[in-house]
A and B are shown apart, each in its own frame.
Chain A
Amino acid sequence: MLSNLLVTKQKVVLVIDELNRERIALKFIGSLLHEQGQGAETIKTLPTGISLKHVATFEALIAECANQNNNNNTPAGETGDLDAGTPGSGSGKPTGFNVILPTLADLLCYQSPAFIFSFLNRLRRSEHVRRVFLWASPQHLQHPHAEYILAGCEYLAELVLRLETDKLLSLISRKPGGGVSNRRFACQVSKTQFQVTPLDEGLPTGVSPKQPTPEAEQTPEPASSTFKIELDEDEMVARNALTLPYERTSEPTEGNIIYTPDADDDFDEEDPDEDLCI
């Protein structure tokens, strides 16, 4: 499911939609969150339309997140705030809100790019916000510098989902440690489901613990490796059957003396050391 890829620890999620699905943007993201068990009480949205003209609307959202988060976490509010930095590590209570912003086209209709970037950055830094979702459809961006603005949003985002065609999407993920991965997926979309299948064979999926795909169960292999590391079944049997030269043929047992008595031997059980002349 797409929600396994998008609803992760990464905080700022940008969806670039080439398919003109902007009208269902809010529903789309809401459904992703719902699939991952994020209830409506954890979701905050901004009103659309003329109210976006007023800076107070944006301030109110941040204040609302802060107030409600503090109320939810009282008296252990401070603990919740600390946990907000690492979503999912808390005691099960919501440690921040999922903020779904209006589409970038709508935001640009009422606010300047500088304000939008600044607001996005504030949300990113806020400890009361767990995730921020922004939807951008290039065919709806009519700002003269739309390309640069979109690139700026990509720079701020930690997850960039690009819906390329009806059957193809790509996902750029920036991890906190600095690692970046760019994966492509085939997708199957219906009105109520969004199924994805990785296209890059052998790439680590690791993001769909609930519904692992057959590809996800394979041994991970770096895509750029020039070595063949993994073994197939026949090779595994052959390797197990091979005994290397330094290996002992039989395992050592406890020490014992094997003695075959001669015919002339007169063995006295009462004095076994008789022949030693001591």
Chain B
Amino acid sequence: MATSVLLACGLNEQKLPGFVHISEESNVDGSFLISCILGQRLRISNAGTLLVCLQHHYQHYFNAGMRLGYNTNIFRGKTLGVIDVLSDMAVEGLASKWLRNSEGQTLTEQLVEDIRAQVESNYASRNSYTVLIDNLSILFNLGASKLQVQQFCQDLAALAKERDNLTVITKLSNSDIYQLTDNNVAKLGQVRIQVLRLKSGVFREVDGKLLIERVLDEGNYACEETRKEVLYKVNDRNVKVFTPGEIGVKV
């Protein structure tokens, strides 16, 4: 269902890099990548996953998972943990801890605390652990400043460095105004996946382009990097990838 896109991104392996960042350009939606990665992590036995829902609530990921061929409900409470910020706000309203600003803590500080608590309680019993955060730009809508988001990501990167088999995967819609924040988050990790729109316009057989940049080795004066471009099409129940030039307008 989603193997090809994960293969193209190099995220199909059991052991993932410590920090992976997905940059989403304006006018494209990279949420399918989160669902694809989530499905892949859940299929690995004894691999823990923490899903931080910011853009969509948990039900969205459940529905997407069903279409891609996995059931998140089976794993929830076992290998899958969920921090559903949006649902909490919807249920509890202004009494929600995310809006109360308790003990002078900011939203991002509370979030880091919750993520740390989840990792502490689950990491030891799992072979590997993945924290998926979708989507950082929602934090701006919830009142966080750019600096707070940057600090939040620094904390997450530090968390990933503290533990061997812990991976943090973030996504940020830069909306053409958060480019600098995007760069600052991307530099924390070894893999950056940019979801880009087609420069030539809209095409019914292709939704957009993935630009995958991976740092292979950090030298003293330069990094050894690979860059790969693939086109993608999100279908109802799968995601297809093409190499550039593979498909075109047939006359």
A residues lining the B interface (CB < 8 Å): 2, 20-24, 27-28, 30-31, 48-50, 53, 105-106, 108-110, 139-142, 189-194
Partner of A192, one of B158, B187, B220, B223: B220
CB proximity of B225 to chain A, nearest CB, Å: 10
- In angstroms, Cα B158 to Cα A167, docked, is 34
Partner of B219, one of A48, A53, A191: A191
- In angstroms, Cα B152 to Cα A50, docked, is 9
Assess whether A24 is in contact with B218, with CB atoms less than 8 Å apart: yes
Assess whether B218 is in contact with A140, with CB atoms less than 8 Å apart: no
CB proximity of B214 to chain A, nearest CB, Å: 13
Known A23-B187, A49-B154, A109-B151; judge A140-B220 contact (CB<8 A). no
Interface stretch of the complex, out of B51-59, B178-186, B201-209: B178-186
Interface residues on B, range: 20 to 34
Assess whether A142 is in contact with B221, with CB atoms less than 8 Å apart: no
> In chain B, what residue has the closest Cβ to A24?
B218
Which residues from A are CB-within-8-Å of B181? Answer: 142
- In angstroms, Cα B157 to Cα A88, docked, is 39
- In angstroms, Cα B221 to Cα A30, docked, is 10
> In chain B, what residue has the closest Cβ to A106?
B154
Known A-B contacts: A27-B219, A139-B183, A140-B187. Give 18 more (CB < 8 A): A20-B183, A22-B187, A23-B218, A24-B218, A24-B222, A24-B223, A28-B221, A49-B154, A49-B155, A49-B158, A50-B154, A105-B184, A139-B180, A140-B183, A142-B147, A142-B150, A142-B181, A192-B219
Which residues from A are CB-within-8-Å of B154? Answer: 48-50, 106, 109
- In angstroms, Cα B157 to Cα A232, docked, is 61
Assess whether A190 is in contact with B219, with CB atoms less than 8 Å apart: yes
Which residues from A are CB-within-8-Å of B187? Answer: 20, 22-23, 140
Assess whether A142 is in contact with B218, with CB atoms less than 8 Å apart: no
CB proximity of A230 to chain B, nearest CB, Å: 35
Q: Which of A22, A141, A191 has the most CB of B within 10 A?
A: A191
- In angstroms, Cα B102 to Cα A252, docked, is 104
> In chain B, what residue has the closest Cβ to A110?
B151
For chain B residues 209-236, which have a beta carbon within 8 Å of chain A? 215, 217-224
Which residues from B are CB-within-8-Å of A30? Answer: 220
Which residues from B are CB-within-8-Å of A53? Answer: 151
Assess whether A191 is in contact with B222, with CB atoms less than 8 Å apart: yes
Q: Is B146's beta carbon under 8 Å from chain A?
A: yes
Assess whether A24 is in contact with B151, with CB atoms less than 8 Å apart: no
Which residues from A are CB-within-8-Å of B215? Answer: 23
Which residues from B are CB-within-8-Å of A22? Answer: 187
- In angstroms, Cα B157 to Cα A2, docked, is 31
